[in-house]
Structure 1
Amino acid sequence: MQKILNNLKKIRAKHKLRKDVNHWIEVVSIKKNVEPLSNEFKKEIQSYYKQFKIPIKKDLNTFKFYKNVTGIEDVHFLPESLFFLEILPLLNNRNLVSAYGDKNVCEVFFPNFDQPKTIVKCINGFYYIKNKLVTQDNMYKKLMNYPEIVVKKALDGKSGGKDVEFLTNINEISVDSLEGRFGSNFIVQEPLKQHASLNNINPSSINTLRIFSYLKQDGEVIILSSSLRFGRKGSRLDNASSGGLHVGIDKEGTTKKIACDVFGKFFTSDEVKEKFANIKIPSFKETLKLIKNNHQQFSQMRFIAWDIAIDEQNKPILIEVNLGGPGIKLGQIDNGPIFGEYTDEILFDLSKKM
């Protein structure tokens, strides 16, 4: 019975993800004429996935979307339904995703990665300052020392920064209101001050790197894709789903010339107020080295999307790791198929499990 229920859940999830792709195409079609896939390319797609015993016919709109957004026809683009429901469970231990993704223990798992300064942790309703249990009153007094705080849900946060708030006037905020908004698991941190070159793009948001890494069976960590996400003028959030833009970063650490929004609309630096093109990302190579070293110690999660800020002192700052539902659309739009030359080995491993 449980197997039947799991299959029904998977069918519903596939339907929703495919519906999302159709919506993306509708949005793209408002801005320009959408080109269909040629019959030859459809055959090429189906032939490629057939060798891995993967039915792909119902996901052809994914390739239509990426063709019209990126101008590229490539069989290695992955449908999100295939990625989320088959590949991600293959690579990441789903039983541990929630625990490993808990923002309150991020510094435990990644002690060698600088992180925002923590003021207070709320873990299952208990309050901690510097990892020591404190009363509600002491926690509240601690918060009163700060003109602004950043509060984040520690577990099961929504994408797009929807469970992140920047709070001022702390004396007007009650403990009950904090728990009402964030539940019994949240973290309170000091606001970051970012590097000048990233601050110049948009000073109202912390503009972060989204970097995808893949841990191969032989222990090598591959950097799959790097992007810079930045908010629009006046916004505190950099996420595309919150109105921000994202731009690809090349292997040398320089931003590309075209940025994109959540629906695949492209912008040049001249078309927006945020000047993002040809920026050399500070400490880019150091950031990649940190990711590779840390990912090797985190082998239960072979696919990670890292959110990294660069502070005023050029230090890479780990904001969070995305383990259970890191969307790949951003990476594929900015830099092409997410697994690139490693797609074959991923799908081959998947075929042995299907």
Structure 2
Amino acid sequence: MIKEVLILMVNKREIPYYYFKYLYRKEVTNYLDYLSLGEQRTMQFHKALHNPEYVTLINNKLYFHLLSEKTSIKTPKLLSYNFQSNFFYNNKIVQINSIEEFTRFFDNIFQNANIEGVFFRPPSDYGGKGCFKITKGHLNSQLDEAYETLKAGNFVHTELIRQHPLINQIHSSSINTLRIISLITSNDTIEIISAFIRFGIGNSVVDNASSGGFFVGINLNTGTLKPHGHFLPEYGGDKITEHPDSSFKFEGFTIPFYEDACESVINAVKIIPDRLIGWDVAITSDGPIIIETNAEPHMQMSNIAYGGLLKNKHVKELMQELKTM
């Protein structure tokens, strides 16, 4: 370990604190292939990779949904949204000041849209923070619980989607999304440089690893799951081979519509041509649907899921490109 740390210090030109979180295990022999924290930050924030105007569209969930409605990007239907007590629905603004008005507002949405549920997300938060859902079967009780939360904040309200039954076999309480990282290379080609799927645990409605879930790497060429899932260190850092709730083993499972998911991301990059984007894609029975986007995706999870991102020739070429700028 001492030898590896010293080699990393020389090669990466930083103190490799990340080594003691992720790379100290004996089975990790290609530790130099992993992006250092400095290299990850370079990819996330380098101005050559991000146009500020695109970043505004990418990181704000409301802006992204409004853009998607005008383009071919397939996302969950935007039903309504609110800025505290001001609720926007069907091109009208309604100010809600009582639980009775609040209940009538959502009763109207459920009846007119004929939906089973609504998912709520703050427009600018990350990692699944503040997300929750209400469903038709528990509408009254859940609306009572949601009233103060919604009035105190800002939320995007989208139709609850139905996850593909094969993924439901692994975990059905949350929508378990693929995180697909796209890169526009210096040659103007669009490449998928990393993919993994995130799973919730227990009754959590979100799958984010930063909210207690975990992630499993996807083999880019085949769309199959790798053998191990990973929890982030702040949630124990365990390495697992099956879902802790369903006991479903990961290795070899084929993601339904994986090629379609990659194609949908590549087509969306043509609409929002920022050079590095993290796309969260859900899989339904009818195919992939893009839930949201991130201009500064969690590169460490991609690093782990891929098994060292510098093994990817496009990432390696990108890092060389950025060093010359």
TM-score range, shorter chain: 0.7 to 0.9
For 1:76, which of 13, 33, 37 is the aligned residue?
A: 33
Partner of 1:88: 45
Partner of 1:62: 18
State TM-score, norm by structure 2.
Answer: 0.81
For 1:115, which of 56, 59, 75 is the aligned residue?
A: 75
Q: Summarize the alignment of residues 293-304 of structure 1 with structure 2, pairs less than 5 Å apart.
A: 293-299=267-273, 301-304=274-277
- Quote how far apart the aligned CAs of 1:103 are: 1.4
- Quote how far apart the aligned CAs of 1:306 are: 0.8
Pairs aligned (count): 301
Change (3 A) 1:255 1:38: same
**Contact 2:201-2:244 within 8 A present in 1 as well:** no
Q: Show CA shifts across 1:271-308 (max 9, x none).
A: 66341332111110111111112113322x21111111
**Contact 1:144-1:171 within 8 A present in 2 as well:** no
Q: Show CA shifts across 1:211-258 (max 9, x none).
A: 111111222111111111111232222112222221111120111121
**Contact 1:219-1:296 within 8 A present in 2 as well:** no
In 2, Cα distance between the equivalents of 1:271 and 1:204? Answer: 13
In 1, Cα distance between the equivalents of 2:82 and 2:276? Answer: 28
For 1:322, which of 294, 299, 303 is the aligned residue?
A: 294
- Quote how far apart the aligned CAs of 1:75 are: 2.2
Partner of 1:38: 3
1:133 to 2:92 alignment:
yes
In 2, Cα distance between the equivalents of 1:86 and 1:220? Answer: 17
Change (3 A) 1:100 1:332: closer
Partner of 2:305: 334
Partner SS for 2:31: coil
**Contact 1:150-1:166 within 8 A present in 2 as well:** yes
**Contact 1:310-1:317 within 8 A present in 2 as well:** yes
Tell me the amino acid that sits aligned with residue 243 of structure 1: G
Partner of 2:64: 106
In 2, Cα distance between the equivalents of 1:126 and 1:80? Answer: 41
Tell me the amino acid that sits aligned with residue 129 of structure 1: Y
In 1, Cα distance between the equivalents of 2:73 and 2:208? Answer: 22
1:154 to 2:118 alignment:
no
In 1, Cα distance between the equivalents of 2:198 and 2:43? Answer: 27
Query: Percent identity over the alignment?
Result: 23
Tell me the amino acid that sits aligned with residue 251 of structure 2: A
In 2, Cα distance between the equivalents of 1:177 and 1:147? Answer: 22
In 1, Cα distance between the equivalents of 2:175 and 2:244? Answer: 21
1:308 to 2:275 alignment:
no
1:349 to 2:321 alignment:
yes
Tell me the amino acid that sits aligned with residue 158 of structure 2: Q
In 2, Cα distance between the equivalents of 1:87 and 1:246? Answer: 20
**Contact 2:175-2:205 within 8 A present in 1 as well:** yes
In 1, Cα distance between the equivalents of 2:211 and 2:44? Answer: 27
**Contact 2:214-2:232 within 8 A present in 1 as well:** yes
- Quote how far apart the aligned CAs of 1:203 are: 1.4
Partner of 2:98: none
Tell me the amino acid that sits aligned with residue 336 of structure 1: G
Partner SS for 1:75: helix
**Contact 2:176-2:200 within 8 A present in 1 as well:** yes
In 1, Cα distance between the equivalents of 2:64 and 2:263? Answer: 18
Change (3 A) 1:274 1:202: farther
- Quote how far apart the aligned CAs of 1:86 are: 6.4
In 1, Cα distance between the equivalents of 2:200 and 2:46? Answer: 31
In 2, Cα distance between the equivalents of 1:271 and 1:135? Answer: 44
- Quote how far apart the aligned CAs of 1:64 are: 4.6
For 2:108, which of 114, 131, 142 is the aligned residue?
A: 142
**Contact 1:244-1:261 within 8 A present in 2 as well:** yes
Q: What is the CA RMSD across the aligned residues, in angstroms?
A: 2.9
- Quote how far apart the aligned CAs of 1:344 are: 3.6
State TM-score, norm by structure 1.
Answer: 0.75
Q: What runs of 5+ residues in structure 2 fail to find an aligned partner?
A: 96-100
Moved more, 60-69 or 232-241: 60-69
- Quote how far apart the aligned CAs of 1:337 are: 2.5
- Quote how far apart the aligned CAs of 1:178 are: 4.5
Q: Show CA shifts across 1:93-142 (max 9, x none).
A: 34652343221232344432321122212369754335x23324684553
Tell me the amino acid that sits aligned with residue 307 of structure 1: D
- Quote how far apart the aligned CAs of 1:322 are: 1.0
